[in-house]
């Protein structure tokens, strides 16, 4: 972080020779097949914006369905990197600051050598984590945080059932719920059993073997990251007055009304204050990203294809080149 004077000095410097960058863009709504690795102009920061040199960017299954009304679009909405340029009015950041963030969904993402973001979404990158680990945190951990605490109202001593407990969002949800003092039950396929236990779930159910509703009941909250059958069968395991929160699909309101519970679907939003708390937990070793695989930016199509494999635990990260094209 820096003083306003230093910031003014940097802003008044002439532009460096940054003109083009390597980026991955979705050109057609065809999933991974619609991605093109190409060179495009480096965007310049407007007032309140910051240009960040991306070091690593993480991806989320199904995210290529999100920007189809604004193509071509750069995917990946969570990243770590280094502040490269400041727009007018940005006084609490300096070039060279190491940052991480969830970027807004209505603009280009981080699968590129540079990303332009509003300054207010950036938080200091955790010191004790590398760029790859840090990039795997913001979208998934903020989804878990907002799902459990803001929408789910989870408090110490309550019981929560987390579907997809070894997934990108789910493994953070297990860790955060446990730290909050909740009793955590997770569902996962066999591939994620060990990861869900390690993350802190007191009970882990392989839902492909045992229907969870036969052994779980009266929970205060179900946090769903899987959708489908697991979401559809969840209403019945929640106590009257409890909540069903999903990031994966919209839950049935009819079933919720019939059971006397609240059913909520939400879209995660950038939140610097929450991300700072999450970063502190990561620095203290209390929150760990689980990384499935790392791909080079140029191999983003393979990374997105990999994300679609069912029963695949952990996050997928794109490593962005250290030598940007000028
Ligand atoms: N609304 C929002 O703001 C928001 C935020 C974040 C994520 N999301 C969405 O929420 C979902 C979960 O995100 P995530 O990052 O946790 O994803 P993820 O790790 O890929 O998936 C979570 C779990 O879902 C199951 N799964 C994997 N592939 C699947 C497939 N093709 N179809 C059905 N289930 C599958 C797996 O669990 P099992 O092994 O247990 O089957 C996996 O561990 C994704 O659809 C993502 O796009 C939405």
Q: How far is the CA of 315 from the centre of ligand 1 (A)?
A: 10
Q: What does the alpha-carbon distance between residue 3 and residue 91 come to, in Å, rounded to a whole number?
A: 7
Task: Supply 158's token pair.
Answer: 């309550």
Q: Is the shortest distance between the CB of 168 and ligand 1 below 6 Å?
A: yes
Q: How far is the CA of 224 from the centre of ligand 1 (A)?
A: 9
Q: What is the pLDDT of residue 18?
A: 80
Q: Is the shortest distance between the CB of 60 and ligand 1 below 6 Å?
A: yes
Name the pairing type of β-strands 315-319 and 49-59.
antiparallel
Does residue 258 contact residue 278 with C-beta atoms inside 8 Å? Answer: no
The radius of gyration computed from the CA coordinates of the chain, to the nearest angstrom, equals 20
Q: What is the pLDDT of residue 5?
A: 37
Give the contacts of 322 (CB within 8 A, at least 6 positions apart): 55
Q: What does the alpha-carbon distance between residue 163 and residue 146 come to, in Å, rounded to a whole number?
A: 16
The total of other beta-carbon atoms located within 10 Å of residue 14's CB is 5
Task: Supply 203's token pair.
Answer: 């009970």
User: What ranges in the chain are assigned the alpha helix state H?
Assistant: 4-12, 131-135, 138-145, 168-179, 193-199, 228-232, 253-259, 272-283, 300-307
Q: Is the shortest distance between the CB of 248 and ligand 1 below 6 Å?
A: yes
Nearest to 252 by CA among 222, 230, 231, 224: 231
Q: What is the pLDDT of residue 311?
A: 83
pTM: 0.93
Q: What does the alpha-carbon distance between residue 249 and residue 162 come to, in Å, rounded to a whole number?
A: 14
Residue ranges and CATH numbers for the domains of the chain are: 4-137+289-319 (3.90.180.10), 140-265 (3.40.50.720)
Give the mutation target among 68, 105, 208, 226 for probing the ligand 1 site: most ligand atoms within 8 A of CB. Answer: 226
Q: What is the pLDDT of residue 313?
A: 86
Q: What is the pLDDT of residue 2?
A: 38
Q: How far is the CA of 223 from the centre of ligand 1 (A)?
A: 12
Q: What is the pLDDT of residue 310?
A: 86
Give the contacts of 227 (CB within 8 A, at least 6 positions apart): 246, 248, 249
Total count of residues recorded for the chain:
326
Q: What is the pLDDT of residue 322?
A: 60
**What single string gives the DSSP state of each residue in 88-116?**
TT--S--TT-EEEEEPPTTS--SSBSEEE
Q: What is the pLDDT of residue 302?
A: 98
Give the contacts of 257 (CB within 8 A, at least 6 positions apart): none
Cα end-to-end distance, the chain, whole Å? 26
The total of other beta-carbon atoms located within 10 Å of residue 30's CB is 11
Q: What does the alpha-carbon distance between residue 157 and residue 163 come to, in Å, rounded to a whole number?
A: 19
Q: Is the shortest distance between the CB of 268 and ligand 1 below 6 Å?
A: yes
Q: What is the pLDDT of residue 12?
A: 34
- Judged by DSSP in three states, 127 sits in coil
The total of other beta-carbon atoms located within 10 Å of residue 65's CB is 10
Q: How far is the CA of 133 from the centre of ligand 1 (A)?
A: 19
Q: Is the shortest distance between the CB of 226 and ligand 1 below 6 Å?
A: yes
Q: How far is the CA of 225 from the centre of ligand 1 (A)?
A: 5
Question: Which helix (DSSP H) or strand (DSSP E) does residue 319 occupy?
Answer: strand 315-319
- Along the 326 residues of the chain, how does pLDDT read in single tens digits? 333 334 333 443 334 568 999 999 999 999 999 999 999 999 999 999 999 999 999 999 999 999 999 999 999 999 999 999 999 999 999 999 999 999 999 999 999 999 999 999 999 999 999 999 999 999 999 999 999 999 999 999 999 999 999 999 999 999 999 999 999 999 999 999 999 999 999 999 999 999 999 999 999 999 999 999 999 999 999 999 999 999 999 999 999 999 999 999 999 999 999 999 999 999 999 999 999 999 999 999 999 999 999 888 889 999 997 654 43
Report the DSSP beta bridge partners of residue 81: 54, 99
Does residue 225 contact residue 247 with C-beta atoms inside 8 Å? Answer: yes
Q: What does the alpha-carbon distance between residue 272 and residue 124 come to, in Å, rounded to a whole number?
A: 9
Name the pairing type of β-strands 219-224 and 238-246.
parallel
Question: Which helix (DSSP H) or strand (DSSP E) does residue 205 occupy?
Answer: strand 203-206
Give the contacts of 184 (CB within 8 A, at least 6 positions apart): 160, 162, 174, 177, 178, 200, 201, 202, 203
């Amino acid at each position: 972080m820096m003083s306003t004077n230093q910031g003014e000095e940097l802003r008044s410097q002439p532009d460096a020779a940054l003109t083009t960058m390597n980026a991955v863009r979705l050109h057609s709504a065809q999933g991974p097949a619609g991605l093109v690795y190409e060179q495009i102009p480096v965007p310049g920061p407007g007032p309140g914006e910051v240009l960040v040199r991306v070091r690593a960017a993480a991806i989320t299954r199904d995210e290529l369905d999100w920007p189809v009304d604004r193509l071509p679009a750069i995917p990946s909405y969570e990243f770590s990197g280094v502040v490269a340029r400041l727009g007018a009015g940005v006084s609490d950041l300096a070039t060279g600051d190491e940052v991480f963030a969830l970027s807004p969904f209505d603009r280009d993402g981080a699968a590129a050598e540079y990303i332009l973001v509003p300054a207010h979404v950036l938080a200091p990158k955790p010191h004790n984590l590398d760029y790859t680990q840090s990039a795997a945190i913001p979208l998934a951990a903020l989804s878990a945080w907002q799902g459990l605490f803001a929408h789910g109202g989870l408090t110490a001593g309550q019981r929560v059932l987390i579907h997809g407990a070894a997934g990108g969002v789910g493994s953070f949800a297990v860790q955060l719920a446990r730290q909050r003092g909740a009793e955590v039950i997770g569902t996962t396929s066999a591939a994620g059993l060990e990861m869900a236990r390690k993350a802190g779930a007191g009970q882990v159910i392989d839902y492909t073997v045992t229907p969870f509703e036969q052994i779980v009941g009266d929970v205060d909250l179900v946090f769903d990251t899987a959708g489908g059958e697991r979401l559809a069968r969840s209403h019945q395991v929640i106590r009257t007055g409890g909540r069903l929160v999903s990031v994966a699909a919209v839950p049935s309101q009819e079933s919720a009304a019939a059971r006397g519970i609240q059913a909520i679907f939400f879209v995660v939003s950038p939140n610097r204050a929450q991300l700072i708390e999450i970063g502190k937990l990561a620095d203290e070793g209390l929150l760990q990203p689980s990384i499935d695989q790392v791909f080079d930016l140029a191999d983003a199509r393979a990374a997105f294809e990999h994300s679609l494999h069912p029963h695949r635990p952990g996050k997928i990260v794109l490593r962005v080149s250290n030598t940007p094209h000028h």
